[in-house]
Structure 1
Amino acid sequence: MPRIKSAIKRVKIAERNRLRNKATKAMVRALMKKVTSLSSAYAANPQPETLQEIQAAMSAAFSRIDKAAKTGVLHKNTAARRKARLSRIVQRSLAATSAS
């Protein structure tokens, strides 16, 4: 444990930031999981309400991912990759329902 006052403060700040970053990453994962589960549900049983839910969930996920990248929790390339994966998943589920 540090004895110097400024080092003690830095330890407290680092812990606070770690917990905040952890919560942000957990929220991003939860929103991504919600989008994927909604898109698979839509592929199995296409309903217009589900499509609206997908769009709302995707918007929320994109917003949270962008904020995480802006604050430095996620790297910008990681954020772009996650957004691209979500878009690809949704597009595939929409294409599967329109093809059948």
Structure 2
Amino acid sequence: MANTLQSKKRARQTERRTDINKARRSRIRTFLRKVEEAIASGNADAARDALKAAQPELMRGVTKGVVHKNTAARKISRLSARVKALSAA
């Protein structure tokens, strides 16, 4: 358990930030799941719209430090390739 005032404050801040980061990560996963579902359903327009909505959310996670930059770039790249293949088919 924290003893000093500073360490107690840091513990409170960490707890608060953890909740915020969990919520943000969950929100990102929801957006990604919507893209996956649209791709699975075969609806190219819905998949494109869902991807457009998911991209800024994922990049916002990068700026907030919830997701690594390369991870976000990889996810966007792979999803956009799948959406593009869906549109071409």
Question: What is the TM-score of this pair, normalised by structure 1?
Answer: 0.79
Gaps of 5+ in 2: none
Equivalent residues of 1:36, 1:89 under 8 A apart: no
Partner AA of 2:32 in structure 1: M
For residue 92 of structure 1, report the CA deviation from its aligned partner.
2.1
Equivalent residues of 2:31, 2:53 under 8 A apart: yes
CA distance in 2, matches of 1:61, 1:17: 22
Equivalent residues of 2:48, 2:83 under 8 A apart: no
Query: Greater RCO between the two (CA within 8 Å, min separation 6)?
Result: 1
For residue 55 of structure 1, report the CA deviation from its aligned partner.
2.7
* Matching residue of 1:85: 78
Please give the secondary structure, in 2, of the residue aligned with 1:72: coil
Question: What is the TM-score of this pair, normalised by structure 2?
Answer: 0.88
For residue 54 of structure 1, report the CA deviation from its aligned partner.
2.5
Q: Please tell me whether Structure 1 or Structure 2 has the larger radius of gyration of its CA atoms.
A: 1
Aligned residues: 89
* Matching residue of 1:64: 57
Gaps of 5+ in 1: none
Q: Identity of paired residues, percent?
A: 33
Aligned CA RMSD, in angstroms, stands at 1.5
